[in-house]
Chain A
Amino acid sequence: MADLTPLFHPNSVAIVGASNKPDKIGNVIVRNVIDCGFSGKIYPINPKEPKIAGLPCYPSLVEVPDKIDLAIITVPAKACLDVMEDCGKTNIKHVIVITAGFKEVGPEGLELEKKLLFICKKYGIRMVGPNCVGIMDTHTPLNATFAVGFPLQGDIAFISQSGAMLVSIMDWSKTIGLGFSRVFSLGNKADLNEADFINAIADDPLSKVILCYIEDVHNGKHFLEVVSKAARKKPVIILKSGTSQAGAQAASSHTGALAGSDLAYETAFTQAGIVRARTMTELFDLATCFSYQPLPKGDRVAIVTNAGGPGIVASDTIENTGLSMARFEKETLDALRAYLPTEANIYNPVDVIGDAKADRYSFALEAVLKDPYVDSVVVMVCPTAVTDPEAIAEEVIRLHQKYPEKPILTSYIGGVSLAKGAQRLSQAKIPVFTFPEPAIQAIAGMVNYTRRIDSGAEGEAIRFDDVDRNKVKAIFYDVIRDRRSVLLGSEAAAVAEAYKISAAPVRLATSPDEAVNLSLEMGYPVVLKVASPKIMHKTDVGGVKIGLNNEQEVRDAFIEIMENVQRYLPNVIPYGIEISKMMPKGTELIVGMTRDMQFGPLIAFGLGGIYVNLLKDVSFRLARGITHGEIAAMIAETKAATLLRGYRGDKPADMLSIIDMVARAAQLILDFEEISEMDINPVFAYPDGYSALDIKITIEI
């Protein structure tokens, strides 16, 4: 991937479209570059001005005598092409296009953007934007944006697809003393996108946390590869908007990209080790905690409080967010018992009670910090007549310096009387919240990140050599020749068979006589199902008859199904009726797959049968790179796993064979990109093996 260093550390910057008029963006940027203390050379470009902001101005890039590392373009959209050509001719390799009026305004804009990108490719130029606010680096320092002001120096890198959000956050961050290392506005992402920037920041020693606000991902596969690597180096926290129905609608009309499903984002983010924030508040709470505090080693949280009620609320939150309440070792309890008043609670949550002053807080906090069974601490303070919030803050700061490896978060529950103490904590980089819940949620985010990074990538990706790809190709060829997207049940069963997925045999009959003959061949009892690519839910249209035991029943069922389908769907002409052997009942499972627009095949496992949509006991993984271990974990996440282990005296099911089936299904969809959806429902799991009863496969023509 390209080296983007000159973007952040240029020796010289040119601003094309620089202006002397204070209300012009071209003027704001020149002033921002100067005011941030940029130490390199600055070249304003404008053919009509001799000087801008005291600097000599050049009529065009070509006239500048020195080498330029970074060009910032603010001229109107139509003029950008010529300027970009000039960049190419003068060997400028990094360009920020602030100008709007490209893809976001319609087909003409899109055409213009394509031309702009074409010029970039021709000269090997890397471009930020167009239609963006620009970029900042507080360490260089460089402010190549038209934002108001420059953020404090810090170790948070922030990437935003929304320019407005970026500008607002920069303004807000100063009120709480939050500092940034690098800040990027993505704009239209014509060339450089979120993955490029995440990759660039992953190796930046001055950035501790990567923070993103995105509306869509440019290329799902590439994004996952980059972020999975980056997340192992430092936390990547992402707020992805457009998760709701209404939000997705707004996002797609805002960015012009079809959002991949939120489920796919969720699965992909989890697998890549991304910490996902759900709200803007959470995004910055997490950023603060990741930036200020070390990562906890485990999920055991201790609470030190001076009031019982808030302590209980915090305990509830700890359990509800999947963390656990630390259980202290005997030495800790003995020490607490010896020092704290008798009415205090020495067990977690430790209640130092209302009359506690800084010394008692200090003793209790140090005791729990020393305890090896504690991974993180939340200190809670409620204002009473004797509480000294500032002295307590000083003690917390002192103890954090003494025990820097354990995160401490604080909740100062109050207002005016606690404000100074809270401010002191914030200055010393101890996260301080008013209420305990966000503190605990932030700990949960940190714990989940650690877990995911530690557990990631064990085992080999699945690979089967005993599958018959040519047979599947031949079946697909016939289906495509028939101009269909949906395989008939008999075809899908044959595909499964080629991949050694044990499916109940299915045959197609076009007349009642044929149905009877096939039933005799298979042996009663049999199941009859309507065969039509147009019917998604066969049961709903009376298209399924089970447990048929003789010729007459099969004959009647054939005609009845045809009549039912004709009644419900008069325009659908079935291909015939599928006959399959009635299998003995087992634990009903579903294995599904849908190809997400962004992240590729997504595999699902859960409780099967007709209640799938109601019970929603399903877990998901991206198929790409899946391991047998991941599949086992995926199964374990569902309630179906409890049934499979043998619920209430039932015999346990053959788990290894089920894992094998899921792996083979994953292999199938990875091998054949044309499969857009697959549904194996139900699968009957038995104590020895399993049987796939109904398989639906949709392919793209």
Chain B
Amino acid sequence: MKFVLIPALVLVVLALRIWLHRRRRSTGGEGAPRPRGRGRREGRPGWEPPLGEIGLVASREVRERARGKIFRVGTVLILAVVAGAIVIPTLGKGGKTTVPPVGVVGSLDPALGAAVVATGPALGVTVKLVPEADLAAADRALRAGRVSVVIVDTRRLMVDAAISPSDGSITAQLVGAVAQTLGTDEAYISAGLTTAQAETVAGAKPLPVASLTPAPKGKKFQSTSIIGVILIFVMLNQYLTWTLIGVMEEKSSRVIEVLLAAVRPIQLLTGKVLGIGLMAMAQATLILVFAVSLSSAVGSDLLKGTGPGDLLASLVWLMLGYGFYCWVYAAAGSMAARQEQVQSLAFPLALPMLFGYIMALTTAGTGNASTLFKVLAYLPPTAPFAMPVLVGLGQVTWWEFTGSALLSIGSTVFVARFAARIYRRAILRTGRGIRLRDAFSGTA
């Protein structure tokens, strides 16, 4: 949890400082008093969105996104994919898999019989023993499929069809387990062990092993990291495309001139990315809560062992990733002249994300973070993918996590200033597209 709490506290302090700064500015006024026209906001009762014009713009974004088919269908699709990833692996485990009983020809020591039955739970099946009158009856039972395997006089096993070494079926596993159990018993007898000695050997437990470094998390954690990285990539792309298209739409529909006659470009831009960011956070939180709840309800072990801190870390990096990239995408949207340019503008911007995504998937799959990958976890463009994987693999400390988060926030401030400048220059420029150099130098 400390992975999340400390960066969250930093964010709260920053937000508080910004709010206080704005409050001082608004109460300090901008000079001459404003004439009170009919219905001006000042002095009027009722709820007003926080952050003034920025809040209004953000509210509109939230309202329009929530109404939009893209958001609703997208949310449902992601929820469906998450549900599938959680539920489908449990389907084979949900009902008890059954196998035909184990036939017994001749006598079988009760203790040995119990040992054979005890092989069932490890395979997820219930093993029952059924006596067969003689070999002929056992033969018929095997051919009819009434029994899966027959124990003949304790020392021999019979199956219907030969089992290949690559056969991973439950029956094959059961036959292997029974053969091992009986073989071990025969070894005990050959060694001349008493029953008590045999039980002592059978009950042997491995010695505890101490390690100098914590063990990497297991396969389940890796699969959780992979799913988390995929979700971050998919959702980040979705939110950033919203931003790009949203800015582009305001420009192409020419509503931008009407808006900028009332609010400053930085207010409009901030409100837009804030509104989309809020919707993104709401959607991501919904998906997270849904995944955890569903996983718990169906008994999936996909998220088992994944602490809330790991999940929240993914959420935090999704938001930090959005915060970093949204400004870039908004600036790109402001430079587009036509709707068709959206894809060509988005592609180069997505390259660093794609690189981080592929590296994160590879690392989550192998479970070993290379030095390059650890470096990527500190670079703002790739950290949203790399850092959650390091958290999932338990290969990062809280202060490394916080350091990377602060680096990302600092870079976001820099990128936002740069993007706001481009946005201001480019958003009112129609006709042909605008070049980056022109937008930045102000010749636009």
Partners in one complex: no
